[in-house]
């Protein structure tokens, strides 16, 4: 179990995307262990079921491919009843250039646009909060609203990743603004794991990949559980205000802390522009 005591989550339902491995699997395990009914929303149901079979608590596996809006819509259409917490955890990092089923650049399509559509489609069912997992590498990102899908720029895998993770934070900013304006009790929060021991960086190649793998044993938190702590805290702490951004406290296993936001990842004008473009691209609008 995690080093962060969780409240009793009995009677609560949580969806965790990308819960078939890494931080998503840890997040699902810990939430179910605290009493929540956890739905593992995964691209590979067999892999997700293997994870669910090792979890003590109430779980369910449902297919979800964030790189295919038809799959996102099907997941949301099949949902019935209230949903307390949505954890937008799934992500890909520094993959070779490619396109989603809908023609989006893979990283912005999976990490941001898929979760954007999923959140808006499930929003009428949500009762408590949305937690979107970003990255410290969002600080390296830049949102190009004129070329979000890397159709004119020379593709850079890490640049595309940084843009997608910055998009996660700006999505949270604008979602919370809209929820507050509507008088909704639902909160939008975000979290990042620091450098956690997962296989997210498996696509890194060349000198950059070699440097990361050389440095990794010295900078990574040794257990994925530590990387999941900010997400778990964002998903369960009762007193967090909307648009809180949680990160590790730096000691690997202590109480997560609220991160300082930068001007770039909290820019309301860019957040609004990204939201409007995301609605146009996904054809999913705020309910």
- Which two three-digit tokens encode residue 234? 């964002």
* Contacts (Cβ under 8 Å, ≥6 apart) of 261: 169, 245
Q: Is 286 a catalytic residue?
A: no
Distance (Å, rounded) from C-alpha 123 to C-alpha 186? 9
DSSP 241-257: PTT-EEE--SSSSS--E
Range list of β-strands (E), the chain:
13-17, 37-42, 59-63, 83-88, 126-133, 187-191, 245-247, 257-258
* Contacts (Cβ under 8 Å, ≥6 apart) of 255: 4, 233, 249
Q: Which of 161, 233, 245, 286 is catalytic?
A: 161
* Contacts (Cβ under 8 Å, ≥6 apart) of 256: 4, 191, 229, 230, 233, 234, 246, 247, 248, 249
Active-site annotation, residues: 161
């Amino acid at each position: 179990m995690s080093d962060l005591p969780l409240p009793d989550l009995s009677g609560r339902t949580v969806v965790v995307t990308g819960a078939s491995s890494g931080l998503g699997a840890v997040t699902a395990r810990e939430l179910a262990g605290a009493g929540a009914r956890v739905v593992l929303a995964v691209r590979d149901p067999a892999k997700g079921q293997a994870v669910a079979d090792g979890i003590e608590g109430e779980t369910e596996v449902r297919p979800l491919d964030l790189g295919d809006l038809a799959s996102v819509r099907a997941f949301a259409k099949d949902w019935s009843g209230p949903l307390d917490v949505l954890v937008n955890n799934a992500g890909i990092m520094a993959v070779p250039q490619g396109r989603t089923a809908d023609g989006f650049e893979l990283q912005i399509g999976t990490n941001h646009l898929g979760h954007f559509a999923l959140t808006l489609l499930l929003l009428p069912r949500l009762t408590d909060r949305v937690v979107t997992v970003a990255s410290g590498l969002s600080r390296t990102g830049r949102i190009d609203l004129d070329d979000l899908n890397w159709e004119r720029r020379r593709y850079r895998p890490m640049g595309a990743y940084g843009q997608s993770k910055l998009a996660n934070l700006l999505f949270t900013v604008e979602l919370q603004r809209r929820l507050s304006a509507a008088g909704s009790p639902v909160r939008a929060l975000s979290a990042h794991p620091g450098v956690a021991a997962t296989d997210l960086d498996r696509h890194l190649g060349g000198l950059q990949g070699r440097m990361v793998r050389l440095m990794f044993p010295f900078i990574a938190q040794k257990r994925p559980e530590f990387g999941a702590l900010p997400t778990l805290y964002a998903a369960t702490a009762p007193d967090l205000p909307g648009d809180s951004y949680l990160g590790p406290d730096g000691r690997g296993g202590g109480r997560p802390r609220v991160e300082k936001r930068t001007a770039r990842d909290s820019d309301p004008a860019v957040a609004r522009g990204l939201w409007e473009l995301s609605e146009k691209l996904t054809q999913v609008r705020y309910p």
